[in-house]
Amino acid sequence: MLRHEYSHSEKRTKHAEEKLQIARRAVELIEEGSTIFLGTGTTVEQMASMLPTFRLRIVTNSLSVFNLLEAREDCELCLVGGMYRRRTAAFVGPMAEDTLRALGIDAAFIGANGILDGDVSTSNRDEARIQQLAFSKADSRYLIADSSKIGKRDFYTFCLDSLDAVVCEPDIADEDRAAIEEHTQVIC
């Protein structure tokens, strides 16, 4: 069990190269003209800064992701509002859930704090609820997480089996790959 939730700025420096590799691979999964959900997290932020330069509709509850994309004219942005959680720069809660519930999403990309025994976990229940809801509304569901998250769990969990794939860095250890592949596909 993780004993400490790192701040957003602390997370940016952890496993930075792996996050770049994962983000590069994840953006290859995006199709022109699609509606994508980008959740919170520093790997998702890396992904946002690498999005292809074609027409997209982007839904996010992350103020950081919104700020990275707000000047792009080829992107239609939908910031899902609600209660602001400073620790992760995310909007959460019933208002955010109500907005997200009404939307159709082609692909959802989220990060996590842990992957263990078929569960994905994060430190905050409200953030996990938004992630679960985004996955339930999406045609394709991707967890983007570096292998340091494998074998760890945090406070609030949801199922790994509902994902289309976990996008990891290319040099993931064989045992880590096998642990994920018991539940879903791994994309490197």
Q: What is the pLDDT of residues 124-139, one digit of tens each?
A: 999 999 999 999 999 9
Angle 164-27-186 (CA atoms, 0-180°, nearest 5)?
35
Lowest mean pLDDT among 1-5, 42-46, 92-96, 122-126: 1-5
Q: Are 53 and 164 in contact (CB under 8 A)?
A: no
CA distances from 90 to 34, 35, 130, 147 (A): 23, 19, 10, 23
Find, among 15, 1, 5, the residue nearest to 123 by Cα.
5
- For residue range 78-127, what is the model confidence (pLDDT) as tens digits? 999 999 999 889 999 999 999 999 999 999 999 999 999 889 999 899 99
Q: Are 64 and 8 in contact (CB under 8 A)?
A: yes
By the 10 Å C-beta count (0-12 exposed, 13-18 middle, 19+ buried), 89 is classed as buried
Q: Which two tokens stand for residue 159?
A: 């199922």
How are the residues of the chain apportioned to helix, strand and coil, as percentages rounded to the nearest 5? 35, 30, 40
Q: Is the dihedral of CA 8, 174, 139, 46 positive or negative?
A: positive
CA distances from 91 to 40, 145, 162 (A): 9, 21, 23
Global pTM?
Answer: 0.91
DSSP symbol at 62: B
DSSP symbol at 61: S
